[in-house]
Amino acid sequence: MTTTDSDRYDRPGRNEPIPLVIVQGFLGTNGAWMWGNFEQYLNHASRVRRKTIFVSVGPVSSLHDRACELYYALLGGTVDYGMEHSISHKHARYGRNIAQGQYPDWSPTRPLHFLAHSMGGPTVIKLQDLIRQGHFGPTAQTPMILSINAISAPFRGSGLVYLLGERADAAPAVQPLSVGSILGKWVHVVSYLSPLVSHIIDFHGDSRSLTYRDISFFTLLQQLWRSDWAESTDATPFDVTFQAADERESQGEGVVDAETFYQSHVAEMTRRHSQGSNFHAPPYSQMISPLMYLYARLLGKFDYSTIRPRPSFLSEKPLSEEFWANDGAVPTFSQWHPLSCCHTLCRHLPVDNNEREAIPKPGVWYVKQEFDAHHMSLVPLWMGTDFQKQWWKRLGWWLSAVDETLPYRQALYSGG
């Protein structure tokens, strides 16, 4: 009996599709119920159902903390944020112990697909970067991430964080009485009560001693006055600033891995404001989503010149209209991929609902533009729209096409 490449591929059943891990964005909790009936369309063309794994990570935590939580949620074990990181950000090195990981066999020969919405996108990029740096030890290797599909991800930052209260001239400080400030206070109150409410909402604050079991009521009041977490460089809001995105990119984060498959799904709900201007505005028909409409208008004329330190892309003048086109939360240029087009490998493609996707290649970002779509049109809320159904079908085809490449990849790893 001869051994084929397929036989060497170490998966539970050779016909079993590689599971899809779903990583949610800012304030996203473990909300599989919200995502609805997508699996029917994801598995539209498959004989065997693809397993999906929803992972709970800190909904307001920094990318670093979220990436560490993601890794251990899948493999199991005690969340290790790293000694250097925990000392510099003044929280405990270890978080919660996860007795049973959601995919304990995760390895370079048992890789996973990742689907990430919003801040989930840079979270998976951070995970890939931490694996590359050896943060999780020698057994963790980048081929464990077979593919990344990002929807409306703020890879390069978003002006939204400043509109919500982050100081444009002094991040991570937050404007008093802003939405961001109130949100930070709410996180502290919920975290204080977390032994009672963690089954409803879980901020993963284990390494920070924030509950009524750990701190006094007076300390809670101090945190409500000025938060050591929300107003630090180790929380989601700061990681959405252009300053933080520039720092990540300058350290080499976001460089494509030659063996990972990448797709970004870029939503855009605005149109060019007028001839001769690169500013954008949403059409009145988008007022059906009033909050998205409001922020789309504000981002459509966002003044980048107020940001300190100056974002690196301002040196790439003149800025194109994609810096003002947006989905109500993230400008288009930031949703494309980490790094600018001249510093990564990318292909920007039109969407075609009717044709099956061409076989993707690893190590290249395939950028797909979805027009008349806002930040939440595709996920997380299932509305049963044709747009959602077609999109999930296309994703199902794409994932199957990537799965098909695996026997050859496996041959590479086994030296065959």
The binding site for Zn ion (CB under 5 A) comprises 65, 89, 234, 336, 341, 346
φ, ψ for residue 128 (rounded to 5)?
-60, -40
Q: Is 195 exposed, middle or buried (0-12, 13-18, 19+ CB in 10 A)?
A: exposed
- Min separation Cβ 145 and Zn ion, Å: 20
Distances (CA, A) of 401 to 48, 54, 101: 14, 22, 27
Nearer to Zn ion by C-beta: 130 or 376?
Answer: 130
To the nearest whole angstrom, how small is the minimum distance from the Cβ of residue 148 to Zn ion? 15
Give CA–CA dist 153/241, Å, rounded. 13
Q: Give the residue with the Cβ less far from Zn ion, 330 or 406.
A: 330
Residue 295 or 366 with smaller CB distance to Zn ion: 366
Nearer to Zn ion, 11 or 126 (CB): 126
Q: Which residue is at the shortest CB distance from Zn ion?
A: 346
- DSSP code at position 142: G
Residue 42 or 339 with smaller CB distance to Zn ion? 339
CA–CA dist 173, 199 (Å, integer): 31
Between 89 and 374, CB nearer to Zn ion: 89
- Three-state SS letters, 12-34: CCCCCCCCEEEECCCCCCCCHHH
Judged by CB, which is closer to Zn ion: 89, or 204?
89
The nearest distance, CB 28 to Zn ion, in angstroms, is 18
User: Could you tell me the smallest distance in angstroms from the CB atom of residue 316 to Zn ion?
Assistant: 13
Q: Helices marked H in 10-95 — which ranges?
A: 32-35, 38-42, 63-75, 83-88
Task: Provide the minimum distance between the beta carbon of 79 and Zn ion in the complex, in angstroms, as a whole number.
Answer: 10
Cα 286 from Cα 16, distance rounded (Å) = 41
Q: Shortest Cβ distance from residue 367 to Zn ion (Å)?
A: 6
Q: Sign (positive/negative) of CA torsion 241, 246, 249, 254?
A: positive
Give me the least distance between CB of 310 and Zn ion, in Å please: 22
For the chain, the residue count is 416
**How would you classify residue 134: left for phi > 0, otherwise alpha for psi between -120 and 50, otherwise beta?**
left
Nearest approach, Cβ of residue 40 and Zn ion (Å): 32
Q: Which is nearer to Zn ion, 162 or 333 (CB)?
A: 333
Angle at 18 (CA atoms; ends 381, 338), nearest 5 degrees? 65
Decide: 90 and 62 in contact? Cβ < 8 Å. Answer: no
